[in-house]
Amino acid sequence: MTADDLIDLIRVYNPRTDAKLIQSAFVYGAQAHAGQVRSSGEPYFTHPVEVAALLAEQRLDDASIITALLHDTIEDTGSTFSALEQRFGHEIALLVDGVTKLTNLQLSSVETQQAENFRKLLMAMSKDLRVILVKLSDRLHNMRTIRYLKPEKQQRKARETMDIYAPLAGRMGMQWMREELEDISFKVLNPDARQSIIRRFITLKKDTGDLIPQITEDIRAVLDERGVSAQVIGREKKPYSIWRKMEEKGEAFGRLSDIYGFRIITQDLSDSYVALGAVHQRWAAVPGRFKDYISQPKSNGYRSIHTTVSGRSAKRVEIQIRTREMHEVAETGVAAHWSYREGVRFENPFVVDPVRWLSNLTERFETAENPDDFLEAVKLEMFTDQVFCFTPKGEVIKLPRGATPIDFAYAIHTRIGDSCVGAKVDGQRVPLWTRLRNGQSVVIIRAEGQRPQASWEDMVVTGRAKAAIRRSLREEHRAGHIRLGREIARVALERVGKRATDKALETAAKQLFLDGPDTLLAQLGAAELTGQDLVHTLYPELLSPERMKTVDPARDQLIVGLGAGQTAKPAPCCQPIPGERIVGIAVKGQGVQVHAIDCVTLAALEDQAESWIDLAWTDAAAQAPHLACIEVTIANGAGILGRICTLIGEQHANISDIVFTERKPDFYRMVIDLEVRDAKHLHNVQTALHADSDVAEVTRFRGMEAGVISAGFGG
C-alpha cells in the first residue's frame, strides 16, 4: 500500500484529512525503517502501514493513523520523542510514546503476573485511549502474520493475545476484533480442536445445505410482511466461540443451539421492536435467551436486542436486532468516539465517553489490594454477562450474571455490603446466597456492628465484593494477630531483661524493613516471625557468646598488604574497623595510616597515588578490639546514663571513654569511645541503643582524636 492508497482509504470517510501530514509521516516512517525486514522477509515498514490501514477501516482520526505509521520509530529506529514532537506536534509524539511504553511492558514475561499486566495496561490507557486502539491493531496485524515466527514465539504471543488483548478488545466493545484475535490464537494453541470444528461445519452443510442464506431469506420475508425496512446479515460463529461453548456446557457440536448468528439492522428504534415482535410471532422463542440491551445498555455503550428462536429445520439461531447507529457502536465500541463521517467527527448518540468509560472500569478495580484480587476483578468484568436489578428508589444496579444480594449491597457502597444481614427480593425475604435475575427489586437489610463473614466469599461473584470481604477479614485477623504479637514480644524481651516499648518495636520494624510496629506485631502474631527473631534483631549479642579476644600483635597479623618493616596505625579522622574497606597512606616517619575507603581526608590525597597502599583485614582482625566512637543523645533523668552503659556492656562492647559535648536540662549529648570487634558489632550496639525509649539519637562519630588502642594493629 502506498501513501496515496492510504490517503484514498481515509478520504472515503474523512475528505478533510490532512493529506500532507499523513504523506510526511509515511515518508518519515519509511526512511526510519529503511533496511529493516520482518520475519516474513517483507520490508518492515509494511507493518506500520497495515496497522494504519486497520485504523482507517475503523474510520479513526488522523492523529491515530499517523501514530500507527510511526508507532515503532522510537522503539526500533534512531528517532526520538523530541524529533517527532518537532515535526508532527505534541499530541502525536505523546501517542507514539504511549504505544512505545505499552510495547515495552513485556506482558508475556514469565516473571510478570497477569494481574500486573492488566494494571499496566489500564495505566497506559488512562492518558489517551487511542494508545490501546493503535496497540490492538498492531497486535491484530502481528497475529495475522504470526505464521512466520518460530513455534515457541507463536505459542507465547498467542497465549498473551488470548489472555490479555482479546478480552480487552471485547471489553472495549470491539467484538469483531476480539473474535479474530481469539480465533487466530486458537489456531496456534489448539489447531486440532479448531480443525475439528471446521470439519463439523463442512459435514453439517453437506447434510442440511447452507442454512445461512435460507434463514436469511426467511427473516427478510417476515420483516417484509410487517413493513420493516432492515438489513439482515447471517454468519457462522467463529470456531473458538463454538469450542468454548462446547467446553463450558459439556455438549457435543450437534446439540449447540447457537452456531449461527443473524443481525437485523433497522432504520430506527421503533422498527427494532416491530422486528422483534415479527420474529417471535413467526418462530418460537427459546426461554431464558432474551436480553434487551437497548433499555439496559452495557457499560461500553453496546445496545442490541438478543433473542434465540427455533428456526428452519428446528435449528436454534441467535438473532440480534439494533439500529444502524447502535450497530456502528457495536462494531467499533469505545473507538467510535474518534470516528469520522464526511470529514467531521461523527456524533453517535450511543457512543460512551472514553474518559467516563475508563473511570468506571478502573473504579471497580481500585478496591483490589493485591494482584490476585485485581486479576479476578478484571476477568469478572471482561467475561460475564450482566443482570440489572433495582434499588427501592428505582436506580439500576448492573451486576455479573450469578450475582447475589451481597454483590448488590457492595455495588451500592462498601459500608452497605459490610453491614448486610439480609435481603428482600421483590418483597420476599431471601437467603443471601440467592442468585439475582434481571428486573428484580432488591432491598438490603443492615445492622450496625455486622461484619462480613468468611462464607460470603464463596457466595459473591463480583471482584469488588470479593476484595471488600477479603480486606475486612484481613483487617479483623490483623487486629487479632497484633494483640497476640504484642504479648509474644513482651514475653520474648522480658526473658532477656528488656521491655517491649514502642521505641523498641519501632526500631525492630525498621531493622526488618517493615512498614511499622503494627506490621511487626502482626507478623509475630501470625507466626511469620518468632520472639527469638525479635530479640536477635534488637540484641543479637545477648544470644551469642562474647567473641572479642586479646590478640598478640607480634604474632597475629590483622592487616595484609603492608610491605616489609611497615607498621600500620588507624587514622584518627575515620577510625576504620573490620568490615569496612580500607586503604593505607604511607606517611614519612609515621609508617602507614589506615583509612576507611569513604574517609573525607582521602579526597585531598588523590594526586599522591605513589603513597596509596591497597590493604585488607585478615580474619583474625575481627577477634581484636578496635576503637569506634558514637555520638549519643539521651534524656536527662536519674539512672538513664547508667542504664545506657549497662546496655553497651550487655552487647559485649567496652567503654574506654565518655566526653559530654552538650548538657541541657532535658537532654545530654555525649561521644562514647567503644572497643568493638567489627562494623557488624558496632551496628548491633547502635541498634540496641536505638531501641531504648530514653535514647533520642545514635550516630557514628568520626574526626575525634582517639586514645591509644590497647591492641593496636599487627605489623
Provide CATH 3.30.70.260 ranges for the chain: 622-701
What is the structure's pLDDT at 43?
A: 93
Residue pair 401/387 in contact (Cβ under 8 Å)? The answer is: yes
H or E, element range at 389: strand 386-390
Q: Is the pLDDT of residue 141 over 90?
A: yes
Total residues belonging to the chain: 715
pLDDT in tens, 421-436: 999 998 899 999 999 9
Average pLDDT over residues 109-115: 47
Catalytic residues: 75-76
Q: Is the pLDDT of residue 621 over 80?
A: yes
What is the structure's pLDDT at 483?
A: 84
pLDDT in tens, 151-178: 999 998 998 888 888 888 887 778 889 9
pLDDT in tens, 530-554: 888 898 888 887 776 555 555 555 4
Give phi and psi for 117, each to the nearest 5: -60, -45
Half-sphere exposure of 28 (CA within 13 A, CB side): 24
pLDDT in tens, 29-80: 999 999 999 988 899 999 999 999 999 998 888 999 999 999 999 888 888 9
| 515 vs 503: CA distance, rounded Å | 14
Fold of 622-701: Alpha-Beta Plaits (3.30.70)
More confident of the two residues 403 and 287: 403
Give phi and psi for 254, each to the nearest 5: -65, -20
Provide CATH 3.30.460.10 ranges for the chain: 193-345
Q: Which of 35, 6, 30, 1 is nearest to 18 (CA)?
A: 6
What is the structure's pLDDT at 560?
A: 87
Cα→Cα distances 496→329, 489, 531, 534, 535, Å:
72, 11, 11, 11, 8
H or E, element range at 596: strand 591-596
More confident of the two residues 426 and 27: 27
Provide CATH 1.10.3210.10 ranges for the chain: 3-189
Of 85-89, 253-257, 264-268, the range with the lowest mean pLDDT is: 253-257
Return the SS3 of 541. Answer: helix
DSSP string computed for 7-67: HHHHHTT-TT--HHHHHHHHHHHHHHTTT-B-TTSSBTTHHHHHHHHHHHHTT--HHHHHH
What is the structure's pLDDT at 707?
A: 40
What is the structure's pLDDT at 112?
A: 43
Q: How confident is the model at residue 710 (pLDDT cuts 50, 70, 90)?
A: very low
Computed over every residue of the chain, the mean pLDDT equals 83
Supply 676's cell numbers. 568493638
Q: Is the pLDDT of residue 702 over 70?
A: yes
Supply 306's cell numbers. 438478543
Residue with cell 534524656: 635
Pairing state between β 626-635 and 591-596: unpaired
Residue pair 628/686 in contact (Cβ under 8 Å)? The answer is: no
Supply 9's cell numbers. 482509504
CATH number of 193-345: 3.30.460.10
| DSSP conformation class of 225 | H
CATH number of 3-189: 1.10.3210.10
Cα→Cα distances 578→495, 620, 625, Å:
31, 10, 10
More confident of the two residues 350 and 148: 148
What is the structure's pLDDT at 442?
A: 93
